[in-house]
Amino acid sequence: MLKIGDALMLEPLDGGGEKYKSKVLEIGDHYIHISYPIYEKTGKTVFLLNGMQFKASFVGQDDCLYLFETEITGKVRQPVPMVVLAYPGADKLVRIQRRRYVRVKVNTDVAIHPLHQEFTPFATMTSDISAGGAAVVLPPRYERQLLPGMVVEAWLVLTMRSGEYHYLKIKAKIVRIFQGENGINKASLQFLDVAPQDRVRLIRYSFERQLEARKAENMGNKRGESVE
């Protein structure tokens, strides 16, 4: 898992697109010490304030990406200047496989457009999404118009926790048409030729939705315990 010497990337929780590179120098029970972060665009050291919140990520020994939320809790100067970050522990890390992205259940607006006028565009919503694809609800009139292997354009709206909106237009291949819960027909889409910045946005969006689901689950468990 996280170990001394690992490269750590920090991104502000409130968005903005900044990325800071650092290195893990010490690991404690609920904290880690890192080298002073370097702004990725300029290569210059940045001085961050206590209380600032970030998404932190690193690549584990299994070549998977690990993510967690953190906050700057202080600074130390011995044996070298270091920044202190809150660390939730190995069991609270979110693991993202490089070759198979995490898929989360979420309803977000999407419009499906044809490439060659095979059907009229329609608006619907996703039932789940990942950085590699999505499942979308099919309105009844389109159940026979969309076929496996067909390539379409998916226009997605991603609402980030920071309040940012990202509008993505991505080519996608229909992998299969299937019947989901309650007899609702859906189309499984595989995203094609995704631009790097859009892939990052999809990963961030999936990560935020996964964290929200975990928090909701933990709150539900706590309520259940208090009732007992």
pLDDT for position 95: 79
Give the model's pLDDT for residue 222. 61
Strands (E), 130-192: 133-137, 151-159, 165-179, 185-192
- The per-residue pLDDT for 154 is 97
Q: Domain ranges in the chain?
A: 7-96, 109-217
Q: Does domain 7-96 have CATH number 2.30.110.10?
A: yes
- pLDDT of 220 reads 63
| Residues 116 and 108 sit within 8 Å (Cβ to Cβ) | no
At residue 174, the pLDDT reads 95
Which tokens in the block code for residue 6? Answer: 């690992």
Which residues of the chain fall short of a pLDDT of 70?
Answer: 15-17, 63, 97-100, 220-228
pLDDT of residue 164: 84
Give the pLDDT score at 161: 83
Question: What is the number of other CB atoms lying within 10 angstroms of the CB of residue 225?
Answer: 8
Share of residues in the chain with pLDDT > 90 (%): 46
Which of 1, 17, 21, 83 lies closest to 48, judged by CA?
A: 83
| Residues 133 and 175 sit within 8 Å (Cβ to Cβ) | yes
Topology of domain 109-217 in CATH is: Thrombin, subunit H (2.40.10)
**Does a cis peptide bond (omega within 30 degrees of 0) precede residue 139?**
no
Q: What is the pLDDT of residue 100?
A: 61
Tell me the one-letter amino acid at 125. Answer: M
